[in-house]
Amino acid sequence: MRRRTGVVLGLALALGAGTAWAQQKNLTWTAGQLGGGWYAQAGGFVELVKSKDPSFNIKVVPGAGIQNMTKLQQGETEIAWGLPPFIAASYNGQDPYPDKHADMRLVMNGLGYVHVQFCVADDVPAGSIREVFAKKLPLKIGTTPPGGSDEWVLRKIFEFYGTTYNDVRGRGGKVVLVSYTDLVTQFRDRNLDVLVPNLAVPGAAIQEASLGRKMRILPMDDDLLKYLEGFGLARGVVPPGSYKDVVNNTQAIPTITMANTIVANAKVPEGPVYEFTKILLGNLEAVRKVHPAFKDFNPKDAVRLANVPLHPGAARAYKEAGLLN
């Protein structure tokens, strides 16, 4: 009798394990570069989601703001961080994307903002971004590699001031395109004079870089802001007190921003996206604690993104929460 009971119990456990495995929600989340805000923030969300539903198995992998959209369209990832200008451009097949990304679907918008922060060593003899370019200083300027929003915005700034990477190199400067971790190291070792990351405030890379070398964050002039707004970016400020070791930390610093947004491939089943979205909506205080950039997150902003359709799973969660008709 004991043997039969043991066999039955073993079968029950095996069947239970099989059922649990069948219900496992396996997703890949393409975030940002190692050492950047998106990678850590995605990790924080994954911990939150798994704590509420252990059947989720979400793997966070490195990515970048522009290339994430193509990875999503090609089915290399189920969900991804994105930025509204590039999400809309990819969906509509506009620059920098050659083709329409028809499988792009919104999951959640408005999760705080990333800010382009034009950081210079305090000994750089320039009080503005315009002056950096007007003086034609032989500076060593660094940002992350092509494929991300950081380098894209840096190129737009160069275009606005009528210069190129080759111009900088031609007058004895350098343009360095490496990871956030390498940017920090090179700045602190005086191999870079300027850093231009696009990060949520406070950005860990900026905090670390400013610890080892005095730094200022230069404000963007109104005409530069207007130019960048033409590409779908929005105005914002780096608030006073964001970085205790930055020299001009007491000032509000005008800059350009983009909202953090989660998107998914349309082919991802409704169920996992519904459960994922429902967990985030049901734990707003925990969401706001994942990163200081999320502290003012309002779920009413989550469903808004010009002309990009919601994923059916997300739409269902928003309807249940009374955020969507």
pLDDT of residue 306: 66
pLDDT of residue 19: 36
How would you classify the pairing of strands 79-82 and 253-259?
Answer: unpaired
Q: Which helix (H) or strand (E) holds 318?
A: helix 312-320
24-112+260-320 and 114-258 share one CATH topology? yes
Which residue type, as a one-letter code, is found at position 49? V
pLDDT of residue 24: 56
How far apart (Å, rounded) are the C-alpha atoms in residues 74 and 319?
29
Angle (nearest 5°) at CA 295 between 154 and 182:
35
* Contact criterion met (CB below 8 Å) for 112 and 294: yes
Q: How many CB atoms lie within 10 A of CB 181?
A: 15
pLDDT, one tens digit for every residue, the chain (325 residues): 444 444 444 434 433 433 333 345 899 999 988 878 899 999 999 999 999 999 999 999 999 989 999 999 999 999 999 999 899 999 999 988 999 999 999 999 999 899 999 999 999 999 999 999 999 999 999 999 998 899 999 999 999 999 999 999 999 999 999 999 999 999 999 999 999 999 999 999 999 999 989 999 999 999 999 999 988 889 999 999 999 999 999 999 999 999 999 999 999 999 999 999 999 999 999 999 999 889 889 999 898 876 789 999 999 999 999 999 8
pLDDT of residue 6: 43
Would you state the torsion angle of the CA atoms of residues 121, 130, 224, 213, taken in this order, to the nearest 10 degrees?
0
Query: Is domain 24-112+260-320 in CATH 3.40.190.10, yes or no?
Result: yes
* Contact criterion met (CB below 8 Å) for 302 and 126: no
Tell me phi and psi for residue 26, to 5 degrees.
Answer: -90, 120
Query: Is domain 114-258 in CATH 3.40.80.10, yes or no?
Result: no
Task: Classify each residue of 57-80 as buried b or exposed e, where b means 16 or more C-beta atoms within 10 Å of its C-beta.
Answer: ebebeebbbbbbbbbbbeebbbbb
Domains of the chain, residue spans: 24-112+260-320, 114-258
Nearest to 232, CA basis, from 45, 85, 63:
85
Under DSSP, is residue 296 helix (H, G, I), strand (E, B) or coil? coil
pLDDT of residue 5: 42
Residue listed under structure tokens 């490496």: 178
pLDDT of residue 16: 40
